């Protein structure tokens, strides 16, 4: 009788342990869900954010009209020289130094010394037609630090009823420039003392109101930490 009782007790213990292993255990009392509570609902909300206004620009003087509507038909070097000749009267930006101007004017005769990068054509206004994008390596005569003594002038031109018009001018020293989804993206060092080598990512997009490229977004990217190989103990 005693042996039978022990066998039954062992079977009950075995069954209870098997059942418990497959069932979820309670994590305690679940907090009651509640709807969000809005603070000061009667407060007047701020106006909706808008793109920073682009600069309305005039036609680049001295460039022939392009009746075909294809900016590739406009000689890119003629466009650049005309823009340089227009100077700060067009966009309000400072001029290049004399050395850069001379090299631009001599691009045909001395292409190896030409500071103008190979022109690129991409649709940035969303109308299905390409814009002219040029980059010009130049010297910053007012820079105190030799590290920032050079810059790249990025110019974008479009056609407005056949007239070559500038829609972006940006002076920077970027690490990279790319076009994605009709936006121009520039990445470069932030350059702020004490902040290390942080990267700033600037995105420019077409603003149909001002008919120019406007700064849409700025992001700061933290640099990746240097990877050190593990040391092997002999």
Q: How many CB atoms lie within 10 A of CB 89?
A: 9
Reply yes or no on whether the pLDDT at 33 is more than 90.
Answer: no
Beta-carbon neighbour count of residue 122 at 10 Å?
13
Average pLDDT over residues 116-132: 96
Res. 197: pLDDT tops 70: yes
d(CA 183, CA 211) in angstroms, rounded, equals: 14
The full set of domain ranges for the chain reads: 71-221
CATH class of 71-221: mainly beta
| Residue pLDDT, tens place only, 141-166 | 665 444 457 889 999 999 999 999 99
Three-class HEC string of 173-209: CCCEEEEECCEEEEEEECCCCCCCCCEEEEEEEEECC
Model pLDDT, residue 190: 78
């Amino acid at each position: 009788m005693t042996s039978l009782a022990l066998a039954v007790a062992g079977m009950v213990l075995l069954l209870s342990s098997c059942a418990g292993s497959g069932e979820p255990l309670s994590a305690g009392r679940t907090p009651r869900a509640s709807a969000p509570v809005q603070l000061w609902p009667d407060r007047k909300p701020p106006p909706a954010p808008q793109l920073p206004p682009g600069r309305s620009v005039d036609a680049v003087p001295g460039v022939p009209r392009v009746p075909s509507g294809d900016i590739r038909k406009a000689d890119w070097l003629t466009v650049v020289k005309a823009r340089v000749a227009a100077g700060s009267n067009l966009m309000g930006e400072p001029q290049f130094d004399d050395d850069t101007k001379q090299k631009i004017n001599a691009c045909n005769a001395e292409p190896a010394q030409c500071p103008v990068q190979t022109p690129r054509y991409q649709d940035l206004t969303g109308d299905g037609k390409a814009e002219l994008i040029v980059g010009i390596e130049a010297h910053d005569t007012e820079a105190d630090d030799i590290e920032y003594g050079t810059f790249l002038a990025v110019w974008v031109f479009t056609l407005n009823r056949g007239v070559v018009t500038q829609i972006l001018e940006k002076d920077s020293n970027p690490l990279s420039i790319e076009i994605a989804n009709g936006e121009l993206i520039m990445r470069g060092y932030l350059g702020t003392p004490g902040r290390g080598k942080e990267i700033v990512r600037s995105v420019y997009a077409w603003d149909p109101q001002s008919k120019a490229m406007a700064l849409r977004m700025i992001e700061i990217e933290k640099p990746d930490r240097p990877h050190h190989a593990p040391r092997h103990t002999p």
